[in-house]
């Protein structure tokens, strides 16, 4: 039997409150996931179609006869298509790796100096480093091309490495400085009291604690160099020097009907970046959060 209160009415049951903001956030995240994942899925599906199936309208959502012919063609070093693709891939890998290594080597001591040392013009110099990121990269295209031509670096990977460092170092230094600001200086002082030099304290105390920030910097530098197109298109004209973004565009512009091959090449270009970020994303998020919040 249900109980009735003194007023003759049934007591109201407490209904669970719906958190509107939380559900709105979840819906937004789902939409963003679809926005980023659907193009990758469609790229993969198109890459396993035949040339005729890829041109059909309305499109086939799933190929009737899936095939890996496009991937075999790209990865076969015995034909010209495979040779070009593999060459472009290794060129991109070399440029991106060199850019990442040099960015870390330069950004680590620079960020540490901005974080720990006091010197005249420190704040002005730090913001001057960030000033370059206030302008679109394309406005530096002509001046940098003239500079690379004077240095004799046009049609070399060195021109791309130097250019990518120019654009990647400001944010890399900013990320690492915020991370170093949150490492207590008392840890270094304790090491100095125990007889360590400043360099030893930096290598033995600060460097192990700054691994997430360094990894985040490396991820950012690698992805930016891997995906860059406009400078690679301008500085490189020799076929054996092209990187993947330019190489794919130039090669498949002559075979515009080969959409499965184009999608296969684009998908394979995207895979290393996606895998790299998924494997190391926890370090990237940790570096951003710890670098943005002061303890």
Q: Tell me what pLDDT residue 208 has.
A: 85
Query: Please, what's the b/e burial string for 60-70 (b: 16 or more CB within 10 A of its CB; e: otherwise)?
Result: eeebeeeeebb
Residue with tokens 């370059």: 132
Distance between CA atoms of 19 and 1, rounded to whole angstroms? 33
Distance CA 228, CA 245 (A): 7
* Residue 49 Cα to chain centre, angstroms: 29
Structure tokens at 153: 């670096």
**Can you give the pLDDT of all 295 residues of the chain as single tens digits?**
445 555 555 555 555 555 678 888 888 989 988 888 888 888 888 888 877 777 777 777 787 788 888 888 888 888 777 788 889 999 999 999 999 999 999 999 988 888 888 878 778 887 877 777 777 878 888 888 899 999 888 888 989 999 998 888 888 888 888 888 888 888 888 888 888 888 888 888 888 888 888 888 888 889 889 988 889 988 888 888 889 888 887 666 555 567 787 888 888 888 888 888 777 777 666 655 654 444 4
Question: Per the structure block, which two tokens stand in for 273?
Answer: 């970046």
Determine the pLDDT at residue 101: 93
CA 172 to CA 218: how far, in whole Å? 8
Tokens of 16: 């669970």
Instruction: Map out the domains of the chain as residue ranges.
Output: 20-67, 73-292
**What is the value of pTM for the model shown?**
0.78
What are the tens digits of pLDDT across the range 101-142? Answer: 999 999 999 888 888 888 787 788 878 777 777 778 788 888
SS (H, E, C) the chain: CCCCCCCCCCCCCCCCCCCHHHHHHHHHHHHHHHHHHHHHHHHHHHHCCCHHHHCCCCCCCCCCCCCCHHHHHHHCCCCHHHHHHHHHHHHHHHHHHHHHHHHHHHHHHHHHHHHHCCCCCHHHHHHHHHHHHHCCHHHHHHHHHHHHHHHCCCCCHHHHHHHHHHHHHHHHHHHHHHHHHCCCHHHHHHHHHCCCCHHHHHHHHHHHHCHHHHHHHHHHHHHHHHHCCHHHHHHCCCHHHCCHHHHHHHHHCCCCCCHHHHHHHHHHHHHHHHHHHHHHHHHHHHHHHHHHCCC
pLDDT tens, residue by residue, 151-161:
888 888 989 99
| CATH number for region 73-292 | 1.10.3720.10
- The confidence score (pLDDT) of residue 292 equals 47
Residues near 76 by beta carbon (within 8 Å), at least 6 away in sequence? 82
| pLDDT tens figures, 185-215 | 888 888 888 888 888 888 888 888 888 888 8
- What was the pLDDT predicted at 94? 93
Pair 157, 231: CB distance under 8 Å: no
Find out whether the peptide bond into 83 is cis, omega within 30 degrees of 0.
Answer: no
pLDDT at residue number 184: 85
294: left (phi over 0), alpha (psi -120 to 50) or beta: beta
């Amino acid at each position: 039997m249900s109980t009735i209160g003194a007023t003759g009415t049934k007591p109201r049951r407490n209904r669970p409150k719906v958190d509107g903001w939380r559900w709105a956030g979840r819906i937004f995240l789902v939409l963003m996931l679809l926005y980023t994942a659907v193009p990758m899925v469609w790229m993969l599906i198109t890459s396993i179609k035949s040339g005729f199936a890829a041109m059909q309208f309305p499109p086939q959502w799933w190929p009737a006869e899936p095939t890996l012919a496009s991937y075999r063609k790209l990865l076969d070093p015995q034909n010209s298509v495979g040779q070009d693709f593999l060459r472009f891939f290794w060129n991109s890998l070399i440029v991106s790796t060199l850019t990442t290594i040099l960015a870390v080597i330069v950004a680590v001591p620079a960020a540490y100096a901005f974080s720990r040392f006091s010197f005249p013009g420190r704040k002005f110099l730090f913001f001057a480093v960030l000033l370059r990121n206030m302008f679109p990269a394309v406005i530096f295209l002509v001046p940098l091309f003239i500079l690379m031509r004077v240095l004799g670096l046009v049609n070399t990977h060195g021109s791309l490495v130097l250019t990518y460092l120019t654009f990647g170092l400001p944010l890399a230094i900013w990320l690492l400085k915020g991370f170093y600001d949150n490492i207590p200086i008392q840890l270094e002082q304790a090491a100095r009291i125990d007889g360590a030099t400043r360099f030893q304290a930096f290598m033995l105390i600060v460097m192990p604690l700054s691994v997430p920030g360094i990894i985040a910097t490396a991820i950012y530098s690698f992805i930016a160099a891997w995906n860059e197109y406009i400078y690679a298109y301008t500085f490189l004209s020799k076929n054996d020097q092209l990187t993947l973004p330019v190489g794919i565009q130039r090669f498949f512009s002559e075979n515009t009907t080969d959409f499965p091959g184009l999608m296969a090449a684009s998908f394979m270009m995207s895979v290393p970046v996606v895998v790299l970020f998924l494997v190391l994303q926890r370090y990237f998020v940790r570096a951003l959060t710890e670098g943005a919040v002061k303890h």
